[in-house]
Amino acid sequence: MVFKRKAARRSFGRSSRRSSRRSSTSGLSPMNVLMAGAIYGAARPFAAKMLPDIFSAGPIDSDNVIIGAAGFYGMKKGNGLVKALGAVALGSEAGIVAARVSSGAAQTIGDAGTDAYNY
């Protein structure tokens, strides 16, 4: 007994149309980024004071690592404003560390990060 394969369905001359759902925009809206930046800027000095000063390895302090890790987690797992806040936090912490590395000012920060923006 020989099984015959069915011929593949072809559209001759016409392009086949497929109906698909439109994908929602996964990008960050400018308003969410502005609000997240304002929230991060207001909360960062208070958060840096509350975090323990575990280590200081050159230009990287423990508050940079902790806030950067929280930002990474929020960016990956959050939605909307939480995702924007995570992106702003991660970018800002990376910017703080990069500014310290580029200026060569691997200074220790007194009082667990109150002078975090003074490079």
Q: What is the tens place of the pLDDT at every residue in 64-105?
A: 889 999 999 999 999 889 999 999 999 999 998 898 888 875
Nearest-angstrom CA–CA distance, 74 and 83: 6
How are the residues of the chain apportioned to helix, strand and coil, as percentages rounded to the nearest 5? 55, 5, 45
Instruction: Work out the average pLDDT over 10-27.
Output: 60
Cβ neighbours for 16, distance < 8 A, ≥ 6 positions apart: none
Tell me the domain boundaries of the chain: 30-105
Q: What percent of the chain has pLDDT over 70?
A: 66
Q: What is the pTM of this model?
A: 0.63
- Which structure tokens are listed for 33? 């980024």
